[in-house]
């Protein structure tokens, strides 16, 4: 994923494509349906998914009959997205190398620009300027995140373990505020945030995979083993029939490029 926060955020996910594709949650159908309706998207609309990773969000929009182009700088993640199977009759997204501030796309070429679980990795001002440039007048920016809903006891206990990772606070706290860049941007109007409920049912292996798919999960063997032990203990405390449910709030931020013809 794309342009900021570490010397090279794309490299933070090196080696994680397989576990990321297998263990990350999707997004609720209600959120996708809301976006499609609110943004007036339909057959032939082009959605550019910036920081598309392994294609989790790109495929959901393709399944709605939209044309989807994913922009992803991490070659391993991009290859995973390209290899993913699609439902019969659904046109697969296409993917290319690029960054949030330099997508390589033509001016006014996209109906919507999406960043799902990605915008917090971007330098916000260059990114929103690039998004406006590639959007058609009247087109929409869509920022979307799954965040833990720690009103749920298991999810709260899981969150305690996740936050024990050394870099967790440095990434999770800014991520929670990243959508404000769109809400306050003078480049877009009709800005809004809407929240949907989401959940992910996993077994013990899936829980560990979900936690270790984070870029800030510990990699040093001793720390990683302690992290895994703590996760297994939380799983054992809350599992029912070998499963637990991670609860999320899915935030959808929208902003529309004014239909003024200006670049």
Segment 97-106, tens digit of pLDDT: 999 999 999 9
Residue 87: inside a domain, yes or no?
yes
Instruction: For residue 166, name the pLDDT band (cuts at 50, 70, 90).
Output: confident
Number of domains in the chain: 1
| Cβ-contact 73, 98 below 8 angstroms | yes
Residue 187: inside a domain, yes or no?
yes
Q: What does the alpha-carbon distance between residue 234 and residue 6 come to, in Å, rounded to a whole number? A: 30
Residue 130: inside a domain, yes or no?
yes
**Residue given tokens 């959007």 in the structure block:** 135
Tell me which residue of 23, 109, 99, 29 sits closest to 61, measured CA to CA: 29
Instruction: For residue 12, name the pLDDT band (cuts at 50, 70, 90).
Output: low
**Residue given tokens 């057959």 in the structure block:** 43
State the pLDDT at residue 73: 95
pTM of the full predicted structure?
Answer: 0.92
**Residue given tokens 């342009």 in the structure block:** 3
Q: How long, in residues, is the chain?
A: 263
Q: What does the alpha-carbon distance between residue 203 and residue 222 come to, in Å, rounded to a whole number? A: 23
Average pLDDT, the chain: 93
Return the number of other C-beta atoms located less than 10 Å from residue 241's C-beta.
Answer: 5
Residue 229: inside a domain, yes or no?
no
State the CATH number of the domain containing residue 113.
3.40.50.150
Q: Which helix (H) or strand (E) holds 236?
A: helix 221-238
Q: What does the alpha-carbon distance between residue 117 and residue 103 come to, in Å, rounded to a whole number? A: 17
Q: What is the 3-state secondary structure (H, E, C) of 181-208?
A: HHHCCCCCEEEEEEEEEEEEEECHHHHH
Q: What does the alpha-carbon distance between residue 67 and residue 186 come to, in Å, rounded to a whole number? A: 28
Residue 155: inside a domain, yes or no?
no
pLDDT digits (tens, 9 = 90+) for 237-249: 999 999 999 999 9
Tell me which residue of 143, 114, 138, 112 sits closest to 46, measured CA to CA: 112
113 Cα distance to chain centroid: 13
Q: What does the alpha-carbon distance between residue 217 and residue 231 come to, in Å, rounded to a whole number? A: 12
Report the relative pairing of strands 110-116 and 46-50 from DSSP bridges: parallel
71 Cα distance to chain centroid: 13
- Residues of the domain holding 58: 9-148+170-198+250-256
């Amino acid at each position: 994923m794309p342009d900021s926060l570490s010397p090279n955020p794309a490299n933070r996910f090196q080696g994680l494509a397989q576990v990321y594709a297998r263990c990350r949650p999707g997004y609720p159908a209600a959120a996708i349906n809301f976006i499609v309706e609110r943004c007036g998207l339909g057959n032939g609309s082009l959605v550019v998914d910036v920081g598309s990773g392994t294609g989790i969000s790109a495929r959901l929009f393709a399944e709605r009959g939209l044309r989807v182009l994913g922009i992803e700088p991490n070659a391993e993640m991009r290859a995973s997205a390209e290899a993913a199977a699609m439902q019969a009759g659904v046109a697969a997204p296409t993917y290319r190398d690029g960054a949030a501030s330099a997508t390589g796309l033509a001016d006014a070429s996209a109906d919507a620009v999406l960043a799902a679980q990605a915008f917090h990795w971007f330098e916000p001002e260059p990114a929103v300027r690039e998004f406006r440039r590639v959007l058609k007048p009247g087109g929409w920016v869509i920022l979307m995140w799954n965040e833990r809903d720690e009103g749920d006891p298991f999810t709260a206990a899981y969150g305690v373990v996740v936050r024990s990772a050394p870099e967790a606070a440095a990434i999770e706290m800014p991520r929670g505020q990243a959508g404000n860049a769109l809400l306050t941007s003078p480049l877009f109007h009709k800005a809004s945030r809407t929240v949907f409920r989401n959940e992910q049912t996993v077994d013990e292996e899936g829980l560990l995979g979900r936690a270790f798919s984070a870029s800030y999960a510990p990699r040093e063997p001793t720390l990683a083993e302690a992290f895994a032990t703590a996760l297994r203990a939380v799983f054992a405390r809350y599992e029912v029939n070998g499963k637990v449910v991670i609860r999320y709030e899915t935030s959808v931020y929208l902003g529309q490029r004014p239909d003024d013809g200006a670049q």
